Amino acid sequence: MSESARFPRPLQRTRLYEQVAEQITAWISEKGLKAGDRLPPERQLATSLGVSRATLSQALVALEVIGVVAVRHGDGTVLTDKPRVERITDAIRAHAERIPDVIEARDALETKIAALAAQRRTPEDLEHIDAALKAMEADIEGGGRGVQGDELFHRAVTEAAHSPLLEQMMTEISELIRETRIESLSQPDRPKTSLAGHQKIADAIASGDAEAAAAAMHGHVMLVSDVALLRD
Amino acid sequence: MSESARFPRPLQRTRLYEQVAEQITAWISEKGLKAGDRLPPERQLATSLGVSRATLSQALVALEVIGVVAVRHGDGTVLTDKPRVERITDAIRAHAERIPDVIEARDALETKIAALAAQRRTPEDLEHIDAALKAMEADIEGGGRGVQGDELFHRAVTEAAHSPLLEQMMTEISELIRETRIESLSQPDRPKTSLAGHQKIADAIASGDAEAAAAAMHGHVMLVSDVALLRD
DNA sequence: CAGACATTGGTGGCCTAGCCAATAGGTCAA
DNA sequence: TTGACCTATTGGCTAGGCCACCAATGTCTG
């Protein structure tokens, strides 16, 4: 190889790994690959792309940083669905544990999300929300705290809003929210109260009442807020 | 180390390049390096970090993707002036131009931000807001569209909210907002209307009325929304 | 002397070759 | 069935080398 000197350089100082990364993403969407699907082994991919393993590795690092794939030692390279956008999370955590900040951000995002969900939810969305509600209920009756159901519920509502940007932002702070969530649900009787709050939100969304949904969500987040603030 | 058996799941899959990247960033902030400053040559850095050049190269790719450094062939590795998190921007833009999504996200964030600003603004914050207002006014009277003043105003309000997480999120979508902003202010008479809206927001913030500030901001964002939607 | 050109040292880009380490899945004995 | 073990497969990382690029310096020419 290496007859590239022939071309007058398309103005771009494109690094090889960038081209490789683009080809890979193109290949992914072309093949319609989804989260969990595997990329070919590095050695094979490298030869089929006509680059060295080192360069391919750089491309994979780039894709990993962006959050497109997850490279697993000894296993393979797997497509990621929920990109690891932990940058913000890390930044915040590194600075200081600021629970109130998280509450504020959550309130801002989820209130709007609830309102949008009330307007846009499809029957499928309502099913998901209901399923999450039932899961949480079952867990609590069994003595659990309903943490997983709680998370499912909020994710279902977020998806029902059908707003990619807001969903992305929720994903970014989801990890921070999780911490406050666990704390909140650890309070006695809190799970039941929380469940009731969820039901109220779900009802408003189901009935298409955006204002009521927003209000219910706001109240719910504030409830969690109280608890979180107690620990200071 | 390596007593990770303590935790059932964590399973530390730290890739070498990640550690290297962290060490480099640590070294950067430790040395207080700024944009334009140079990192040591790869070979030197590699040996001093005790890794191969290939691994160091991966770390640099990661940092390049994040936007911390720019690697220049034949010249060296230079710190970038934009430690930005353009991930979202890129992701959205790559997918499709979704103006409505931006409006929604902006509404969610800025409504909350306005409310917080009303409660937390310091005298300095009010000064900044007022200065932005005046700048926009002067620009418009001079026949301009007040784009810069508009941006200044929203940034000042965001800072007045004193909420790092929300501020971070605003930064992330600021570029997307800018596009809609320019479009909106291109409409005849829109600059004046927009200025009036800003004044209303500023007054509410100054008087400490959170609800009024939120309502005013919401109305303002919706105004922009109308315009943006017109172009479809 | 001034400007164009060639040289050179330093830097990153990319490759080849190879060994190490983790994982999954099979085999076989208890 | 269960558990320990083996092994093929796959990624992780290193070493060493050659090439391309850039900037500064030196050199030649007009």
Residues 6+ apart with CB under 8 A from A206: A121, A126, A129
- Angle of helix B16-31 relative to helix B53-66, nearest 10 degrees? 70
Q: Which residue of B has its CA nearest to A59?
A: B61
What angle (nearest 5°) sits at the alpha carbon of residue B171, between those of residues B166 and B25? 100
Question: Partners of A77 in the beta sheet?
Answer: A71
**pLDDT tens digit string along A106-120?**
999 999 999 999 999
**Facing B116 at nearest CB: one of A65, A104, A166:** A104
**pLDDT over 90 at B12, yes or no:** no
Sign, CA dihedral A153-A154-A155-A157, equals positive
Q: Which amino acid is at B185?
A: L
Mean pLDDT of the A123-129 span: 94
- Weakest-pLDDT range from A109-113, A161-165, B95-99, B176-180: B95-99
- A9-13, A205-209, B39-43, B149-153, range with greatest mean pLDDT: A205-209
The matching CATH number, chosen from 1.10.3720.10, 1.10.10.10, 1.10.287.3510, 3.40.50.1110, for A4-79 is 1.10.10.10
Scanning every strand, the nucleotide with its C1' closest to A39's CA turns out to be: D10
Point out the least confidently predicted range of A32-41, A170-179, A183-192, B130-139.
A183-192
Q: Read off the pLDDT of residues A69-103 as tens digits, 9 standing for 90 and up.
A: 889 898 989 887 644 444 444 444 444 455 677 88
Nearest CA in chain B to A53: B54
Find out if CATH 3.50.40.10 is the number for domain B87-230.
no
What percent helix, strand, coil does chain A show, rounded to 5? 70, 5, 25
ipTM over 0.90: no
- CA B46 to C1' D12, in angstroms, rounded, equals 16
Pick from B88, B165, B172: CB nearest A104: B165
- Which chain A residues have a beta carbon less than 8 Å from that of B88? 165, 168-169
Cβ contacts, strand C, under 7 angstroms: A 15-17, 50-55, 58, 72-75; B 11, 13, 39, 41-44, 53-54, 57, 60, 71-77
In the numeric block, the tokens 């704390």 are attached to A183
pLDDT at A177: 78
For residues A173 and A10, give the distance between their C-alpha atoms in angstroms, rounded to a whole number: 40
Q: At residue B97, what is the residue type?
A: E
B100 CB-contact burial (10 Å; exposed 0-12 / middle 13-18 / buried 19+)? middle
Query: In chain B, which residues fall in CATH 1.10.10.10?
Result: 4-79
The residue-averaged pLDDT of A46-58 equals: 92
- Which residues of chain B from 16 to 55 reach within 8 Å of chain A, CB to CB? 17, 54
Q: Using pLDDT thresholds of 50, 70 and 90, give the confidence band for residue A187.
A: low
CATH 1.20.120.530 in chain B, residues?
Answer: 87-230
* pLDDT score for B186: 62
